[in-house]
Amino acid sequence: EIVMTQSPATLSVSPGERATLSCRASQSVSSNLAWYQQKPGQAPRLLIYDASTRAAGIPARFSGSGSGTEFTLTISSLQSEDFAVYYCQQYNNWPPTFGGGTKVEIK
């Protein structure tokens, strides 16, 4: 089973600043990686798939990059509604697996 490791566990950022979240796979997952956002009391929402493709309706301030084992989610200028927990997930190898999450909190 591929282990997905996200860092940092918590990221404190001021509104308007840039946030960079990392996700590392224990072996190559090619570009078969997605990012999800989860706000308290809500279901996760798809942000990015295939490592760098924004899902429908996702603002351009969200971008994804990487391939193989190293991936990054960047939020260019944090808005108040972006404070949430972010999960990466690989779907290249069976079983698909999620990372442990990064909580983005207000600094």
Residues of the shown chain interacting with other proteins in the complex, contacts defined by CB under 8 A:
1, 32, 34, 36, 38, 43-46, 49-50, 55, 87, 89, 91-92, 94-101
Residue with tokens 């899902």: 55
Among 99, 82, 80, smallest CA distance to 90 is for: 99
Q: In terms of CB distance, is 8 or 15 closer to other proteins?
A: 8
Report how far residue 107's alpha carbon sits from residue 99's, in angstroms, rounded to the nearest whole number: 23
Q: In terms of CB distance, is 83 or 98 closer to other proteins?
A: 98
Among 27, 33, 35, smallest CA distance to 69 is for: 27
Q: In terms of CB distance, is 43 or 60 closer to other proteins?
A: 43
Q: Residue 43 to residues 32, 37, 71, 84: CA-CA distances in angstroms?
A: 22, 9, 23, 12
**Shortest distance (Å) from residue 64 CB to other proteins:** 12
Q: In terms of CB distance, is 16 or 95 closer to other proteins?
A: 95
**Shortest distance (Å) from residue 51 CB to other proteins:** 10
